[in-house]
A and B are shown apart, each in its own frame.
Chain A
């Protein structure tokens, strides 16, 4: 079993839809949870960052972490064609991993007009 599991999709939705992306993980030491967005032929870029459990909102994006279930989510409201990209979840612990991130495989999202 991989440390982080993520459904690769692809996911295709119409403009304006609410998108839900999810990851599960197995290592209870993870405390920092991130979502990276990767456009075609580009490197991943940090989109959202959450520490421990709870919700974090940034514009149309909401990140949720449920440590008891080892489950994280990213919600995109009022999705736009410009949101079309691959979304990768990533996580790490406090410092023992020297900054190493554990990534999911990524979910490919297409938002059509």
Chain B
């Protein structure tokens, strides 16, 4: 298994543009987490899904952010319109829902909004 795969690895975009980040889960995992990491705030949980259903989106900063899980192995995080303060590294991680099990992270998408 190739692990959690995120794309793109780097994204530079202008303020106001739409940005879509993508994540492919590890086969057999059924919980998916989107995190944002900055120097100031560390790793922040944005939203997580279990069996393709959004469970908790309280970490999503505002309506400009949306996430979907159209099938069991794939998820997208969309920012529209993007703002400079959205610049961060975005990680997705997958695990099983049994609790107490390892979460596997992707390599992250480094987003820069200018």
Residues of A at under 8 Å CB distance from B? 8, 31-32, 34, 41-46, 49, 51, 88, 90, 92-101, 103-106
Q: Is the interface of A mostly helix, strand, loop or mixed?
A: loop
Min distance, Cβ B59 to any Cβ of chain A, angstroms: 11
Across-interface contacts of B98 in A (CB, < 8 A): 95, 99
B27-63 residues at the A interface, CB under 8 angstroms: 31, 33, 41-43, 45, 48, 50, 55-56
Across-interface contacts of B99 in A (CB, < 8 A): 32, 92-99
**Sampled A-B contacts (16; CB under 8 Å):** A32-B99, A42-B108, A43-B105, A43-B107, A44-B105, A45-B105, A46-B102, A49-B102, A95-B97, A95-B98, A96-B99, A100-B31, A101-B103, A103-B43, A103-B45, A106-B42
Across-interface contacts of A105 in B (CB, < 8 A): 41-43
Interface size classification for chain B: 20 to 34
User: By the criterion CB–CB under 8 Å, are B106 and A43 in contact?
Assistant: yes
**Which listed residue, A44, A49, A88, A99, touches B96 by the CB 8 Å rule?**
A99
Contact count A vs B, C-beta below 8 Å = 72
Across-interface contacts of B102 in A (CB, < 8 A): 34, 46, 49
Min distance, Cβ A36 to any Cβ of chain B, angstroms: 8
Judge whether B95 is part of the interface by a CB distance below 8 angstroms.
yes
Across-interface contacts of B4 in A (CB, < 8 A): 43
B 65-100 to A, binary, CB cutoff 8 A, 1 in contact else 0: 000000000000000000000000001010111111
Min distance, Cβ A8 to any Cβ of chain B, angstroms: 7
User: By the criterion CB–CB under 8 Å, are B106 and A104 in contact?
Assistant: no
